[in-house]
Amino acid sequence: MRNLIRLIHMLISIITALVFAFIFGCSHHSAPNSSNIHPAHPTSAKIDSTNLDQSKNTLLIRQSERAKMPKGSTLALSNEAIKYLQNMLEAYFAVGNRLAKDKYDTIPSQSHTFLSALDQLKSVTNQEDLKIIQILEKIHQYGHQLSSSSSIQDARKHYGFLSHSLLDWLHKLALPVKVYGFVCGMAPHVPQKGVWLQSVAEVRNPYFGATMLKCYSQAFKLETSSLMTQGESNDQ
């Protein structure tokens, strides 16, 4: 009888976890444990979301804007700027990989590498293009916050804001490499509910790491021509 009761309790726990994952948009894994919960998750401490402007910066709106742009109107970078951009992306991707592995060790150093490459890119950017300069300044702000983070939970929060601002810029560019993007769907208090970018198509969720490594609610990609294409949705 005790074994039957224990089995029933286990089944209830599993069903509860599956329902939880379904509600928040991720269905590949069960709910995360408290030590790996993204700081922006509703079960964690909420952060100020008054300036996220999510209604104007959705992936679908960006895709619509891209479709309306005349062919060849994407911003082309100089060879020197492309080199710095590639260095930025390599450092950014490295941060995401460490977060996906639940590792914090090299994140500050990789963040500093990212900022160094960004400063080099800014130095060869037209300073009269105020709109681009403002975007780069915002990227620098979030990159600096990431480099100053003191824990993996803190790093994941700042990584979310950095990813959003980085996407805001990259979708305007003629990119030298293909970039794969995903939306976690379980971080409602950071932009895009936890957007992130990767150099490979295999899903590696940096917000929950091993507990929900394959979890995502939306996928997209930035082609080398910088055409943003909507990928599959993983909503169930």
Is 176:82 a contact under the CB 8 Å cutoff?
A: yes
pLDDT digits (tens, 9 = 90+) for 16-58: 544 444 444 554 443 434 334 444 443 333 333 333 333 333 4
pLDDT at 158: 95
Partnered with residue 219 across adjacent β-strands are 182
Find the range with the poorest average confidence among 45-49, 133-137, 206-210. 45-49
- Segment 206-234 shows an average pLDDT of 77
For the chain, the average pLDDT equals 75
Write down the pTM of the prediction: 0.71
- Buried (b) or exposed (e) across 122-138, using 16+ Cβ within 10 A? beebeeeeeebeebbeb
- Helices 152-170, 130-147: axis angle to 10 degrees equals 160
202 — pLDDT class (breaks 50, 70, 90): very high
pLDDT category at 6 given cuts 50, 70, 90 is: low
Q: What is the pLDDT of residue 12?
A: 65
**CA dist., res. 231 & res. 218, Å (int):** 7
CA distance 93 to 196: 9
Q: 38, 48, 52, 25: which is closest to 191 by C-alpha?
A: 52
Distance from C-alpha of 202 to C-alpha of 198, rounded to nearest angstrom: 9
CA distance 180 to 203: 9
Fill in the DSSP letter of residue 228: E
Task: Give yes or no for residue 235 having a pLDDT over 80.
Answer: no
Distances, alpha carbon 201 to alpha carbons 82, 147, 180, 195, 223, in Å: 22, 26, 6, 14, 12
Tell me how far CA of residue 141 lies from CA of 81, 84, 196, in angstroms.
Answer: 20, 18, 17
The whole-number pLDDT of residue 35 equals: 38
Mean pLDDT of 181-196: 82
Least confidently predicted of 18-27, 46-55, 141-150, 174-183: 46-55
**64, two tokens:** 């619509």
- Token representation of residue 235: 């909503």
